[in-house]
Amino acid sequence: MRKIYLMTMLLAALNLYAERNIIKLNDNWSFRFSHQVNKGTARRVDLPHTWNTQDALSGKVDYKRGIGNYEKRIFIKPEYQGKRLFLRFEGVNTVASIFVNRKYSGEHRGGYGAFVIEITDKVDYGKENSVLVRVNNAEQLDIMPLVGDFNMYGGIYRDVNLIVTENVCISPLDYASSGVKLIQDSVSNEYAKVRNVIQLSNGRNADSKLDLSVTVKEGDKTVKSFSSLVVVPAGKNITHEIPMEFNKPHLWNGMEDPFMYRVEVSIKENGKVLDTVSQNMGLRYYNVDPEKGFFLNGKHLQLKGVCRHQDRAEIGNALRKEHHDEDLAIMLDMGVNAVRLAHYPQDEYFYDLMDRHGLIVWAEIPFVGPGGYEDKGFVDSEMFKENGKQQLIEMIRQHYNHPSICFWGLFNELKEYGDNPIEYIKELNEIAHKEDSTRPTTSASNQGGAINHITDVIAWNRYDGWYGGNPGTLGLWLDDLKKKNPNIKVGISEYGAGASIYHQQEELKQPNPSGWWHPENWQTYYHIENWKIISSRPFVWGSFVWNMFDFGAAHRTEGDRPGINDKGLVTFDRKVRKDAFYFYKANWNKSEPVLHIAGKRCDRRTSNVQTIMVFTNQPEAELFVNGKSYGKVKADEYCIVKWENVILDKGNNDIEVKTVRGKLKLSDDFICKIQ
């Protein structure tokens, strides 16, 4: 009797908490290209996966852009009958056509947003089922982006999950959003008002009367709870709102205190939990002042930002969690507090990391112009424009609840010549405000004109001292722009210079950006001078180094090898931090002691009279050459220490710098050979 009683209690408990089940489907797919029609040509792959790791990253301009077939066998349990089944794809580039048991079941067009299709009525229960995904990354004119200075890697390059829910659920079908939207209508240090907008879906043939509950937690402690009775008509999807109010809320305060509440939304029927969705909620308020820049929760915050592409050596864009973790760790090491995730929505996990560590994020759709290359980023066709609107709505709805996201980006480097995108950008701007009235829109421009006066704030891609000119022209340009447009809210969305760690030179000479010689010392000089200009102008609301990491661009023929854009502060494989990285670390990261000799990789020189430059966030440093002190020198306001006219001997010279501050002792050294 006791066993029967325990079994009854267990079944009752299972029935009480019959919530959604999420099953990862990353392993054991078979892959072949569409032209490989002979049997036996498929090979096993695991996700994330791209087929362009070899050709695109070797600088092959015409890398494979076509159709790849991914197929997986999935056993659908018989007990799933009567439930609802959804496939969620986190990212497939660029067109995904889905076939269940070789029957067409849906399509998604766009390579950077998640999408969900329901397969409830398409599977055979108690049997193995085939899921075939035909992926096409070919060039076409009806999908963003049309062009870009980056690789359009083909494949299922993010996770795939099977979601199993009850017949009535919090809907995953609203542009693949969580189904829970936390709208921060009003936030201050004293009070916050939030609307919890919930998407409910009834797959039954009868109406469902539900008990909808919202629980707000701070750790394990429940701080707020709300409930409502809701009727969802048969076969319908509805939206229901529950308002929430907070007195003296604990704010998400960037890197200083990235606190988040946990919001749990549940639906019950007759005491049985049908579905639960949990979302983090970071309450914050912010604004951009045209004279003083960015303010978070009423306090000025200088945005010290970088841009990031989602690829790396050997694996292309098929990143795993450990790769995202490593990228974030390198950013934090340098002292980054803001990131422009260019030029497309990136992995949900990376936005989660930004939330948890308090970075400010600029998220954007892939509406990308050609930069200095041919073709255009805009075609005035209805299919293209509808696709762009779809991708914008997807981005906002999928990532709405991330407190780190403070800006929605609408375009990058578009041109007005030919098909003029201005009216379309205005449409996108209206859609963004309709979807989210709480966040400003922005864009990255590289020209003048009306295109710069559409979004709420604007930023420019500037390469003064790399693509012509010199760093000083950036300051002149900024001051002139501000004088002519005093109310404009201006940022720097990109600035950078190429550098190879293998290209070293004694003299400071500006290279040809499209040539094969990209000396590291010019990149270092470039960033020092550009940062001096940017940091001394408080009206610049944010600046973003292009780029945090070297990245793949198959058409590039420059630097130390083809196929790589080497403007990163860190090498493509993440193994080497360039000298400019340490300049920023000394200036931006005040929590970790820094002492770094610039130019250490230039260890063979001809002149015996040298300047030794050091980056340090300590008050001073002392130089030793072959054991002899050249004295202590104080760091300037940009954390730079220099010893000029240092006489070196013929042959090898031991160069060492030291700094001592109480118990803290730092040193750095290298051997410099005078030939």
Catalytic residue set: 413
Cis geometry, peptide bond prior to residue 616 (ω within 30 degrees of 0): no
Q: What are phi and psi of 295, to 5 degrees?
A: -125, 130
Both structure tokens of 464: 């003064």
Please check whether residue 642 is in contact with residue 603, taking contact to mean a CB–CB distance below 8 angstroms.
Answer: no
Task: Please classify residue 347 by burial: count the beta carbons closer than 10 Å to its beta carbon, then call 0-12 exposed, 13-18 middle and 19+ buried.
Answer: buried
Angle 167-170-172 from CA coordinates, rounded to 5°: 95
Task: Give the whole-angstrom CA distance, residue 346 versus residue 310.
Answer: 7
Distance of CA 559 to the CA centre of its chain: 25
Query: Alpha-carbon distance 56 to 512, whole Å?
Result: 24
Tokens of 212: 């909808």
Buried b (16+ CB within 10 A) or exposed e, 257-295: ebbbbbbbbbbbeeeebbbbbebbbbbbbbebeeeebbe
Sequence-distant (6+) residues with CB within 8 A of 150 are 309, 311, 343, 551, 552, 553, 565
Give the residue from 528, 541, 535, 542 showing the smallest Cα distance to 613.
Answer: 528
| Continuous segment of H or E residues that includes residue 669 | strand 664-674
Whole-number Cα distances in Å, 244 to 178, 223, 262, 402, 435: 19, 11, 13, 18, 20
- Whole-angstrom Cα distance, residue 397 to residue 365? 13
Q: Are 563 and 466 in contact (CB under 8 A)?
A: no
AA identity, residue 270: N
**In the chain, what is the straight-line distance between the N-terminal and C-terminal CA atoms, in Å?**
93
> Who's near 663: CB < 8 A, 6+ residues apart?
none
Beta carbons of 338 and 305 less than 8 angstroms apart: yes
**Rg of the chain (C-alpha set):** 28
Maximal CA-CA distance, the chain: 94
Q: Residue 217 CB: number of other CB atoms within 10 A?
A: 16
Residue 260, CB-side half-sphere exposure with 13 Å CA sphere:
23
What is d(CA 186, CA 191) in angstroms, rounded to the nearest whole number?
8
Rounded Cα distance between 137 and 94, Å, is: 5
| DSSP codes of every residue in 485-534 | -TT--EEEEEE----BTT---SS--PPPTTSS--BHHHHHHHHHHHHHHH
The DSSP annotation for 302-355 comes to: --EEEEE-S-BTTTBT---HHHHHHHHHHHHHHT--EEEE-SS---HHHHHHHH
What is the distance between the alpha carbons of residues 564 and 289, in angstroms, rounded to a whole number? 37
Query: 349, 322 in Cβ contact below 8 A?
Result: no
